[in-house]
Structure 1
Amino acid sequence: MSQILPMSAELRERTGTGGARETRRAARVPAIVYGAGEDPQPVSVLRKDLIKAVQTGKFLSTLYELDLGGARTRVIPRAVQFHPVTDIPVHVDFLRLKEGATITVDVPVHFTGQETSPGLKRGGVLNIVRHEVSLTCPIDSIPEAIEIDLSTADINDSIHISAVTLPAGVVPTITDRDFTIATLVAPSSLRSAESDAEGAQDGTGTTEG
């Protein structure tokens, strides 16, 4: 399950463009905390802390506890805006969470067992269809990642969502089909060899005259 990580924050007295610029000059990033039936709350977080969190690759599926001068609020990031040139975060939206709430998050897919996969050993190629899977989760049961074991996967195997064991109460947002997460396909050299072999068997292979 996702850990609840601490993040220091400060209330913003000034809002609007001028206030946001002032916040950024202080090496902080303006943010807004909203939801749970309460008024939106303008805050800021340290830029270096935010960059470090974003670089984990799972920022938008991680729970945080914002410390606002001793008052703690549990949130999950919902959107990050980046500078178009420097790619530095310039604004964050945090969703305030109530106890027992259910939310939808995009959870990253991680693969294990590549070193023992029969298909990969034969030169197969892992074709990742979904790098993330959208899940509906209780806030206390958000998976950090979806782990898929490839240790027995062979060429032409497909991994579907039905093969994934999810925590209790966690369900995919797509419920009308058993969607594919990844496939293990043959390398082009093997496909060519198999095609030549089939051609020879049915008499359509090439011959030298």
Structure 2
Amino acid sequence: MAGAIPDLHAQERAGTGKGAARAARRAGMVPGIVFGGDVDPLAIQIPFNELFTRLKKGRFKSTLFNLKVDGQEDVRVICRDVQRDVVKDLPTHLDLMRLRRTTKINLFIPVEFINEEEAPGIKKGGVVTVVRNEVELVVTAGDIPEKVVVDLAGLNVGDTVTISDVELPSGAKTTIDRDFVICNIQAPSALKAEDDDEDETVETEVIADGEAPAEEEAAES
């Protein structure tokens, strides 16, 4: 179970409708609504600066939050919509949905790479190139995995790890059908440089030992 579900602090908003929403915005807040979970909707407001900072970090609409509202029980929510000003592109309203423990949701789960010291390719100086440091999975709200583990033991230079090589947490599945790449082990820079030098040498020898260039043949004739 993920132990780091971020808190999202909000205040209960007095009144609903356009008038109350405008009053919240004038006070430096972003109005919102919490719905779902077989209980009445709850009108809330969140400080503009806090919401704007979270939006800039990305993944806001695919992150599970622990919503904390004074006078209310904590509840897990996920954002379903953020309305923005058509001119300034700033948030003006948000919709949050309460989640039951059995609700299926899409979340980005971080990837952890282990056993680098047991990878022959890394011992030879190879470098792990991470293509995805997080993976979007369909998970159950009541059983969200903390991470996806990728075991690098036994991997050599040139080896690639795809999602089919990874054991996903129980009950989770990817949102993408294709077998996408998670990481690979690339040759060290020095080895790449040596290979490039060898290629250039071979090409030079072929030119030297082959037939004379067309310009020289034309001159001789």
TM-score above 0.5: yes
Alpha-carbon separation, structure 2, partners of 1:24 and 1:55: 19
What code does the residue aligned with 2:184 have? T
After TM superposition, give the deviation of residue 158 of structure 1 in Å. 1.1
**Residue in structure 1 matched with residue 105 of structure 2 by the alignment:** 103
Alpha-carbon offset, residue 81 of structure 1: 6.0
Report what 1:34 is aligned to. Answer: 35
CA distance in 2, matches of 1:121, 1:47: 51
Letter in 1 for 2:111: V
Partner deviation per Cα, 1:149-181 (whole Å, 9 max, x = no partner): 557654312121133333221121234x43212
Q: TM-score, normalised by structure 1?
A: 0.67
Per the alignment, residue 2 of structure 2 pairs with 2
For 2:68 and 2:87, the matched residues in 1 are separated by: 29
**CA–CA separation in structure 2 for the residues paired with 1:90 and 1:172:** 32
Residue 125 to residue 47, structure 1, CA distance change in 2 (3 Å): same
Residues 113 and 150 in structure 2, CA contact (< 8 A), matched pair in contact too:
yes
Shift of 1:135: 0.9
- Mark the CA change 1:85 to 1:206 in structure 2 (over 3 Å): closer, same or farther: farther
1:80 and 1:116 map into 2 onto residues whose CA distance is 45
AA paired with 1:185?
Q
Taking a change above 3 Å as real, the CA distance of residues 46 and 159 of structure 1, as seen in their structure-2 partners, is same
CA-CA distance at 1:147 after TM superposition = 3.9
- The alignment partner of 2:179 has SS state of coil
* Alpha-carbon distance, 1:31 to partner: 2.2
Q: Which residue of 1 aligns with 2:213?
A: none
Amino acid at match of 2:135: V
Q: Secondary structure of the equivalent of 1:205?
A: helix
Q: Which has the larger radius of gyration?
A: 2
- The alignment's TM-score, normalised by the length of structure 2, stands at 0.65
CA RMSD of aligned residues (A): 4.1
Give the drift of 1:189.
5.9
**CA apart distance, 1:36:** 4.0
More helix by share: 2
Question: Aligned partners of 1:83, 1:146: CA distance in 2, in Å?
Answer: 37
Contact kept, 8 Å, 1:31 with 1:43, in 2: the verdict is yes
Other structure's SS at 1:23 match: helix
Give unpaired runs (5+ residues) of structure 2: 209-221
Cα distance change of structure 1 residues 164 and 14 upon mapping to structure 2, 3 Å threshold = same
Structure 2 residue 181 is matched with structure 1 residue 180: yes
Q: Which has the higher strand share?
A: 1
Partner of 2:129: 126
Indicate if the aligned counterparts of 2:110 and 2:148 stay in contact, CA closer than 8 A. yes
1:114 shift after superposition: 6.5
Gaps of at least 5 residues in structure 1 are: none
Q: 1:67 aligns with which of 41, 45, 69?
A: 69
